[in-house]
Each structure stands twice: as structure tokens, then as C-alpha cells.
Amino acid sequence: MSVVREDAHGPQDDPEASYPMRVDPTSASALLRSDLDILVAEQLHVALESDAGLVKALDGVRLSVARGETFALVGESGCGKSMTAMALMRLLPDNGRVDEGSVTLDHEELLVLPESRMRERRGGKIGIIFQDPSTSLNPVLRVGDQIVETIVTHTALRGEAARAKAVEWLKLVGIPEPERRIDDYPFQMSGGQKQRVMIAIALAAEPEMLIADEPTTALDVTIQAQILDLLKSLQQRLGMAMMLITHDLAVVAQMAHRVALMYAGQIVEVADANEFFARPLHPYAVKLFDALPESGKRDVPLAAIPGTVPPLTLDFRCCRFADRCVAAVDHCRSYAPALFHEVGAVRSGDGTRPVATHPVRCFIYDPTLPEAERPRPPPERVEGVSEARPSSSSIPLLEVRDLTVHFPIRKGVLRRTVGFVKAVDGVSFSIAPGRTLALVGESGCGKTTTGKALLQLLREQAVIGGETLLRGERLDRLEGGALKRMRPAIQIIFQDPFASLDPRMRVSDILEEGLISLRPDLDAAGRLTRLATLLDQVGIRNEAMHRYPHEFSGGQRQRLAIARALAVEPSLVVCDEPTSALDVSVQAQILNLLKQLQRELGIAYLFITHNIGVVEYLADDVAVMVKGKIVEQGSAERVLQHPAHDYTRTLLAAVPRLRPA
């Protein structure tokens, strides 16, 4: 084995000092390059001007993608994954610039091309699928026109021939009735269909390289499986290389040949995919795997990573992960680690080449350090004693009997009702105190509508039938003051905390609002004491009371949304996809918090989600919903291990797994 060490910095207190190195004469750059590579980035430094100072979004990023290979770029939000894609495509925002580095596509340097020639490369030789098709597709252009634009720009086809090619691409990506749907606007398509249109646009000129930036984020598992299968088949058909940007490790395990893990603007580990999942080396990678929810961990807390990614305005002179790392020693806080390489030969894409099989940026693997100064690898996690699960009462806390929610369809000048959309159609279930019922299913099946109907939030918009009983009392019959007195018992955590927290109100006002309305027995001093207790319960410091929602991270905002729901001491909380868009580490923190609060306060949860991993970890019971109806329900173990309904089996089969089931 050869060891290669790169880009070390000096001690923290002396920026000019150098760290002693023993360098292999073979350069790391040569190890990363090969004739098989179509895309190579070398020492890429990207900076953004901001009010807080200069943000060093990328700091010395090196990567390569071989022809026919799927290269996955993974890490938490804020690590620089999407910024890497924007830099490679030369699509940085106006306040961004490449300070240093090289990007070559098929041996052509992209950073020196004039913009007119770069436009020819975008779409023609390298395509990109953006994260959110709703904002990436032009809402005033028909989807066919947007595909034809790419075809006309980068191929010789024109007129009817270009349109016929666009229809062919819509058919290839699985859009039904492509001859008719080519004239649809984006708003007339579902989320999955819009993502398919984005894929058609990106591939319409048959590029040699594709960048897919979170192509399945927030999609249902069945739609996600279809999109991933589609990308795989198109990649094989076109022989193209693909860079997959995601924070979903299960998707990476299913798709990637090689994996690069990013943290705070740097790549901290690169490995063959099988090697990465079998033997993660960096402490950050180890903690990410420990934080994943699955059935085997359901009776112990997840190994959440404390803290957050550090701000990239800092001038780093030490390990960027040190403050969150259980293995960190004094050396880690004084020097910046380089990438240490184990050099070998691996098969990648369509050939075999010499590469750094498992480079890792951590002093644990620095052979120049004396044994006494070297940090130890993170210990294998000791599961310890399982936590006692809350006892179940035979008397249900919530009973739902034949719930229906029908939204009227109105037409004409007089807005007469001509029909109904049956969003929820005869749903029945019950939840016992201290238990969690997971309500799962595809988007549009009626999960969120069910949750809102339980809280009596849809009375003005829909025709609601059936019975909803909380502790034996009919919620659907309560009006005025009686309904208000019952509201503290049942609360909701909405899916998007940024949209559900008023941006003009401070945290103290947001949390106090519910107390003033629903807990008139508390005076100002009592409310202040309650707020301090709430913030402590959800792991937010007391001084946060005077800040606004935009000053918090996504995970912290979700904690504030949980605190707001708990402010009035409810017995039941409806959790509507509270972890759907969160990183693995933040998701682990939220799930640990929900379990802890359930154990301490005996709260029951109706957990609405399409994340089966979360269901396996958190749920006591599961109800599967399709087109407004529950088609299967029972204990989590029974439904997940021995599904009886065809749809449940299809749903579980579509879930990407780190390891085969």
C-alpha cells in the first residue's frame, strides 16, 4: 500500500507554519485521473460574497467520474454538494466565483471557455436534473416546448422532427399519452411526472455526462423507485456517466459505483460503493450510518450527530469535524488533516484503473503521526439496555369511525357544485395513549387531509362525515367554546416548519400565542416559565426566545414547531411528515426527541409519512392508505414483515435498502 498525503495546514496559532509531511512521489492528482474519466475537477475553490463575509463554499475539491460510472456525492445540507454541481456546470449565482481550480470535460477545460461555447456544452455534452422541478420548469411554457428547445439547440433536428423526438422522450421517461401530454403545462402534471419531464429535458440531446441533484427528494417511495429505475435504464442505453447528489444513503447503495462524502466544503472520504458501505472509515461516515432509523434500532436512541455543519465563513486551520467528533484529540483541533490514500486498482464504470480506493481525510489514518498522538477510530456502538416502551391502554385515546372528507367541485358563474373529490372515503382506526400509529401511502392518498380533519380544520372547505371521538367525546359535534376547550388535547406538527412559523414573529411570541389562547389559567410569569421548559425539552437554548425563525437551521425550526405543538400539553399530536426533508443526522435528533417526549409525557402520535425506515423505527401500529381508503392496518411488525395487501407489498418492495432485505 502507498500512502499519499495532501494539502495539510500548519498549526492553528501560526498560519505560515507547515505540518511535517512524508509524501509519496506519485501525486494524488495522477491517482484520480484516467483515460476512462470524462469529468475531472482539480483543486476547485469556490467563494460566495455574503453579508456575513466571504463564504468558502468549496475548498480544494478533487473528483473524477468515469464513462458509464455512477458517482455519488453525499453529505448533510450545507456541505457543498449542490454548489459543486453549479461550479461544474458554470451556473454559480451572481455573488459566486471560482477562485482556483480546473474542470475538464472529455479533456476540455471548461473554466476558460467563453459563455457562448459553454452553452453548447450544457445540455449537449453535460446535462443536469435540478432538485425541484416545480421551480426549474418554466410555468408559462408547455413541457413539449421546453424539451424541443434542448433538441433544437444541441441537435440538427427541427420542426416536426424535433417535436416527434420530444414525444419519443416523453414516452421513454414513462409519461402516459405523450402525444397529448406534450402540450400540457407543468402545473397540469404531478410531482413525479414533472421530475420525469426534467429528466427528458436533461437527456434530450443525449449528453455524455449527467448531474442529478437530489432527483428523488420528497417523492413517494414507489415514484422514487420508478425514477431511479428510469435513470439506470437510460444510463445503460446511452452509456453516459452520472453524478448523483443526495443525502439518502439507501439510494446511493442502490445506484452508485463510487461514493464521495462531503463535509463543510471538502471531500472527506472517497471509496468504491461496496467498500464504503462495508467499511466506512471517517468518523462522520460512521455516525451517519448509526443515525439511520431501522427496525433493529427501535428500542434504543439513534446515534444523532451533535451540532451542525460549521459556517463556511470561518478560516479553518483544524479538522472541520472536530467539534462534532467523538474520536477527536488535541491534534485534530490544531491541524487540518489531508486525504490519506490506500492505492489499488478497482473496476469502475466500463474499465479497470488505478485509483485511490479509499482516501479519507482523518488523522486516524495518518501514518506519519506517532501512535500516542493519533485519534482512535470511533468505537462500535454499544446498544445497551432497551428502553421500556410505553404501556398500552385497552381504552383508545382517539377513535375514528367511517371518516369521510369530500371537497366540492364548483363550476360556472354561480359556482354551483357539480361533484365531489372524495379525498378521504370511509377511514376507521384508533390510537391508544402513549402509542404511535403510522399512516403511510403515496402523495394524494388523503393522509394529510385525514390529519387536518381530526383537528376540525376543514369544516369550511369540505363536507365531512363519520365520527371522531377523543376520550369518548365527539369532536365532530363540538362548536365554539366547547371545541376551543378541547383543542389543547390534540395538536399538529406541520410538514414545513419554515412555512408554518410566522417569519415576522419572534420565537417567544410564536410559542406564547397558543398558551394565551388555550391556557388562560397561566399568567405572564407562568407562560414564561412554560416557554423555558419547552425550549429545554426540545434542545433549544433559552436565548433563542428573542430570535426569528429564519435565524435557525431546518432541524432547529422543526424543534420549534414541536415545542409549539407541546406548549398546551396535548395528549395526541398529529405529525405530518416532520422529517421528510431533513438530513439523516437532524432526522435522528427529531426522532429521538419524539420518542423521549412520548416516554416522559405519554403522548400518542399519528405519524403521517412515506419513509418506511422511520415507520420501522418509530411506529407501534401501521395503517396503509390508498385513494382515500385504508387497505391494511395492524401492528408494525405484522404489516411490515407479513404484508397481506398487494399495495403494501408493492410499497415495501420499492423501499431502497442499505442491505438486501
Q: What pLDDT is recorded for position 138?
A: 93
User: Rounded distance, CA 104 to CA 111, Å?
Assistant: 8
Domains 28-125+207-373 and 398-653 share a fold: yes
Among residues 287, 195, 246, the alpha carbon closest in space to that of 77 is found at 246
Q: What pLDDT is recorded for position 593?
A: 86
* CB atoms closer than 10 angstroms to residue 322: 22
What are 406's strand-pairing partners? 422, 463
Q: What pLDDT is recorded for position 370?
A: 85
The model carries a pTM of 0.80
* Three-state DSSP state, 202: helix
For residue range 349-365, list pLDDT tens digits in order. 455 444 446 899 999 88
For residue range 603-645, list pLDDT tens digits in order. 999 999 888 888 999 999 999 999 999 999 999 999 999 999 9
For residue range 43-62, list pLDDT tens digits in order. 999 999 988 789 999 999 99
Of the listed ranges 36-45, 210-219, 618-627, the least confidently predicted one is 210-219
Mean pLDDT of 251-266: 94
Hey, what's the cell of 451? Answer: 390529519
Q: Domains of the chain: which residue ranges? A: 28-125+207-373, 126-206, 398-653
Q: To the nearest whole number, what is the mean pLDDT of the chain?
A: 84
End-to-end CA distance of the chain: 35
Place of cell 405523450: 178
Is the CATH number of domain 398-653 3.40.50.880? no
Mean pLDDT of 515-519: 88
Hey, what's the cell of 247? Answer: 443525502
For residue range 448-486, list pLDDT tens digits in order. 899 999 999 999 888 999 999 999 899 989 998 899 888
Q: What pLDDT is recorded for position 389?
A: 53
Q: What pLDDT is recorded for position 659?
A: 63
Query: For 21-172, where are the E strands, in sequence order?
Result: 37-50, 53-66, 70-74, 96-105, 108-109, 126-129
Assess whether pLDDT exceeds 90 at residue 284: yes
User: Rounded distance, CA 258 to CA 347, Å?
Assistant: 10
User: Rounded distance, CA 636 to CA 512, Å?
Assistant: 36
Q: What pLDDT is recorded for position 397?
A: 92
Among residues 349, 338, 352, the alpha carbon closest in space to that of 28 is found at 338
Which residues neighbour 545 within 8 Å (Cβ) at sequence distance 6 or greater? 506, 507, 508, 511, 531, 535
For residue range 82-127, list pLDDT tens digits in order. 899 999 999 999 999 999 999 999 999 999 999 999 999 998 899 9
Is the CATH number of domain 28-125+207-373 3.40.50.970? no
In this prediction, residue 345 has a pLDDT band, given cuts at 50, 70 and 90, of: very low
Classify residue 218 by burial, with Cβ atoms within 10 Å: 0-12, 13-18, 19+: middle
What are 213's strand-pairing partners? 245
- CA distances (Å), 508 to each of 544, 562, 592, in order? 8, 14, 24
In this prediction, residue 34 has a pLDDT band, given cuts at 50, 70 and 90, of: low
In this prediction, residue 661 has a pLDDT band, given cuts at 50, 70 and 90, of: very low
